[in-house]
Amino acid sequence: MDVQTDPMNREKKRGNFIQTSSSSAAAADLVTLVRSLPPEIITEILSRLPVKSLLRCRCVSISWNALIVDPIFVKKHLKASQNEEQLLIRYSQWVRTSDVKSVYISDVLNEEFPTALSLHFPKKYSKSDIWIIGSCNGLVCVVIDQAKILLWNPSTRESKKLPSCGYKERASRFIAYGFGYDERNSDYKVIVINCKSTNFTGPFSTQIKIYGLKNGSWRKVKNYPQFCPLGDMGMFVNGTLHWGASIDTGINSYQSILTFDMSEETFSEISQPCFGESVLDSVIWVLNGCLCMLINYHDERKFDLWIMKDYGKTESWTKLFSLPFPEGRMNFQFTPLYITKKNEILMLFGKQLVLFHVESKVITISYPGLKNEHKRCLEALTYTESLASPFPE
Residue 42's domain comprises 7-80
- What is the full per-residue pLDDT of the chain (393 aa) written as tens digits? 343 444 344 344 444 444 444 445 655 665 676 677 888 888 998 999 999 999 998 988 898 899 999 999 999 999 988 888 999 988 765 445 567 889 899 988 888 778 888 888 888 887 778 889 999 999 999 998 888 999 999 999 999 999 999 887 766 678 899 999 999 999 999 999 998 876 666 677 889 999 999 999 999 998 888 888 888 899 999 999 999 888 887 677 788 899 999 999 999 999 888 876 656 677 899 999 999 998 877 666 778 899 999 998 999 999 988 887 766 555 557 788 999 988 889 988 777 788 888 888 787 777 655 655 444 556 889 999 999 999 987
Residue 393 located in a structural domain: no
Residue 389 located in a structural domain: no
CATH code, 189 = 2.120.10.80
Residue 249 located in a structural domain: yes
Strand order in the sheet with 352-357: 334-339, 344-349, 352-357, 362-366
Q: State the pLDDT at residue 209.
A: 95
- Domain final residue pick, 54, 80, 106: 80
**How many other CB atoms sit within 10 Å of the CB of residue 299?**
9
- Based on the fold, state whether residues 324 and 245 are members of the same structural domain: yes
Residue 2 located in a structural domain: no
Residue 392 located in a structural domain: no
Q: pTM value?
A: 0.85
- Domain final residue pick, 28, 54, 80: 80
- Based on the fold, state whether residues 75 and 95 are members of the same structural domain: no
DSSP strand pairing (130-136 vs 117-118): unpaired
Residue 388 located in a structural domain: no
DSSP strand pairing (187-196 vs 173-182): antiparallel
- Based on the fold, state whether residues 374 and 336 are members of the same structural domain: yes
- Domain final residue pick, 64, 80, 96: 80
- Based on the fold, state whether residues 130 and 165 are members of the same structural domain: yes
Q: State the pLDDT at residue 355.
A: 86
Strand order in the sheet with 377-383: 117-118, 99-104, 86-92, 377-383
Q: State the pLDDT at residue 373.
A: 47
- Based on the fold, state whether residues 65 and 141 are members of the same structural domain: no
- Based on the fold, state whether residues 49 and 188 are members of the same structural domain: no
- Based on the fold, state whether residues 76 and 142 are members of the same structural domain: no
Amino acid type, 349: F
- Based on the fold, state whether residues 340 and 212 are members of the same structural domain: yes
Contact 27, 18 (CB under 8 A): no
Q: State the pLDDT at residue 89.
A: 86
Q: State the pLDDT at residue 368.
A: 59
**How many other CB atoms sit within 10 Å of the CB of residue 217?**
10
- Based on the fold, state whether residues 43 and 67 are members of the same structural domain: yes
Cα 65 to chain center, whole Å? 28
List the one residue out of 254, 309, 310, 303 whose CA is nearest residue 281: 303
Q: State the pLDDT at residue 149.
A: 94
Q: What is the 3-state secondary structure (H, E, C) of the chain?
A: CCCCCCHHHCCCCCCCCCCCCCCHHHHHHHHHHHHCCCHHHHHHHHHCCCHHHHHHHCCCCHHHHHHHHCHHHHHHHHHHHCCCCEEEEEEECCCCCCEEEEEEHHHHHHCCCCCCEECCCCHHHCCCCEEEEEEECCEEEEEECCCEEEEEECCCCEEEECCCCCCCCCCCEEEEEEEEEECCCCEEEEEEEEEECCCCCCCCEEEEEEEECCCCEEEECCCCCCEEECCCECEEECCEEEEEEEEECCCCEEEEEEEEECCCCEEEEECCCCCCCCEEEEEEEEECCEEEEEEEECCCCEEEEEEECCCCCHHHEEEEEEEECCCCCCCCCEEEEEECCCCEEEEEECCEEEEEECCCCEEEEECHHHCCCCCCEEEEEEECCCCCCCCCC
- Based on the fold, state whether residues 66 and 96 are members of the same structural domain: no
- Based on the fold, state whether residues 28 and 54 are members of the same structural domain: yes
Number of folded domains that form the chain: 2
- Based on the fold, state whether residues 105 and 123 are members of the same structural domain: yes
Residue 1 located in a structural domain: no
Residue 167 located in a structural domain: yes
